[in-house]
Amino acid sequence: MTVRLMQGNEAVGWGAIAAGCRFYAGYPITPSTEIAEMLSRELPKLGGIFIQMEDEIASLAACIGASAGGLKAMTATSGPGFSLMQEHIGYAAMAEVPCVIVNVQRLGPSTGQPTSPSQGDVMQARWGTHGDHPIIVLYPTSVPEAFELTVTAFNLAEKYRTPVILLMDEVVGHMRERFEAPPLEEVQVVDRMGTNVPPEWYKPFGDTIGDVPPMPSFGSGYRYHITGLYHDPMGYPTQRLDEINPWIERVQRKISNHLDDILMYQEENTEDANMVIVAYGATARSARHAMKLARQHRHHVGLVTLYTIWPFPEDVIQRIGRMARRVIVPEMNLGQLALEVERLVGRHKVIRVNRADGEMVSPQMILDAIEGR
């Protein structure tokens, strides 16, 4: 076990490599650039491909193309680039092509404040593309988690044939922390399911073996069609309701039936809590500190840290809502995930703690909310 000081963005790069990522396409943008720089250095050593594309639209397109070609692919960006990528996130969801999109958030909207932290893209990550489709969004709070959740992002993308978004705070991306590198062979890696049926039997979007169809790569002898149009089990465009509806249901099901596998969260001191903080990302660190201070003042405060923010962990939040008198939701935005919490526990119970000026939500701000100041 080697211990070293590592930056969050760098940890994302190493996580990608450990997960088997061998293709990166991206466009330089603060505060995510270190991910591209480190992968341009490391991927060629492994025979992998790094390419700097002409924009973020092309970057995600190239990732999807590479993934169809059988390589695990990732891109990383920040707000403006993430906005440009939305159409292709939808394409990857529609065509069920695994890929990982990292968004190291900056303060927005527009060019905003490139080097300041913000959690303003929480709703965009869920609803940014047009149309309905499920999406998985993971959110680390620390450098080691940036590594682990990048690996998980790839594993979930491959397992469920879906784009997975890793949202990260600028402060986590640029922070350096102690990191104990696991030996590569100990990193659990999931690869997409292949197939050995005769090519003429293969259905790229069928449900014969479950909700996630196997995905052989282009060039492997299975010649099939990928499209962003609604398609039948063969991948051919369709307008038939009896083909569109089963697709919608299957793609929803492949996520909603596997919440136990996808949802990650951590509860601390919730057993006796009458006040619970629900937090994610760097804000969860402030929340943990606030919880400790509050407990010293004999307040029964618990903390739920969300590592999967989409799909939203409804069951745990509902349980917290039944148990707690107040639910505190600190966010570096004007109240985004608080909307989900309010939907589940009732607006009257939720105390929002927000700031969207490029500064962290401080432990004191959360403590003030706990103590009703």
Partner 1 sequence: MAKNEHTAYAYLRTTKKFPNIWCAGCGIGIVMGALIRAIDRIGLDKDDVAVVSGIGCSGRMPVYLDFNTMHTTHGRALAFATGLKLAQPKLHVIVVMGDGDALAIGGNHFIHAARRNIDLTAIVINNAIYGMTGGQYSPTTPLDMRAATAPYGHVEPPFPICELSIAAGATFVARSTVYHAIELDKLIEKAIRKVGFSVVEAVSYCHTTYGRMNKLGSSVDMMRMLKDHSITLAVAEKMMPEERAMKIVRGVLHDVDKPDYLTLYQKVIERAQATIDGKEFLRAGPGGLE
Q: Which residues bind partner 1 (CB under 8 A)?
A: 1-4, 6, 14, 17-18, 23, 25, 41-42, 44-47, 49, 51, 53-55, 57-59, 61-71, 73, 87-88, 91, 147, 179-184, 187, 217-221, 223-229, 234, 236-237
Least separation in angstroms between CB 250 and partner 1 = 20
CB-wise, 112 or 182, nearer to partner 1?
182
CB-wise, 52 or 257, nearer to partner 1?
52
Least separation in angstroms between CB 15 and partner 1 = 8
CB-wise, 239 or 296, nearer to partner 1?
239
CB-wise, 194 or 346, nearer to partner 1?
194
Place of tokens 């920040």: 78
Instruction: Give CA–CA dist 176/181, Å, rounded.
Output: 14
Instruction: Give CA–CA dist 284/319, Å, rounded.
Output: 19
CB-wise, 99 or 294, nearer to partner 1?
99
Instruction: Give CA–CA dist 121/336, Å, rounded.
Output: 9
Instruction: Give CA–CA dist 301/364, Å, rounded.
Output: 14
CB-wise, 42 or 207, nearer to partner 1?
42
Least separation in angstroms between CB 96 and partner 1 = 13
Burial environment of residue 243 by CB neighbours within 10 A (0 to 12, 13 to 18, 19 or more): middle
Least separation in angstroms between CB 292 and partner 1 = 30
- The DSSP result for 161-176, as a single string, is TSEEEEEEEHHHHH-E
| Nearest one of 233, 256, 239, 237 to 310, comparing CA atoms | 256
Distances (CA, A) of 179 to 18, 35, 78, 263, 295: 14, 16, 24, 24, 29
Least separation in angstroms between CB 48 and partner 1 = 8
Helix (H), strand (E) at residue 190? none
Instruction: Give CA–CA dist 226/95, Å, rounded.
Output: 6
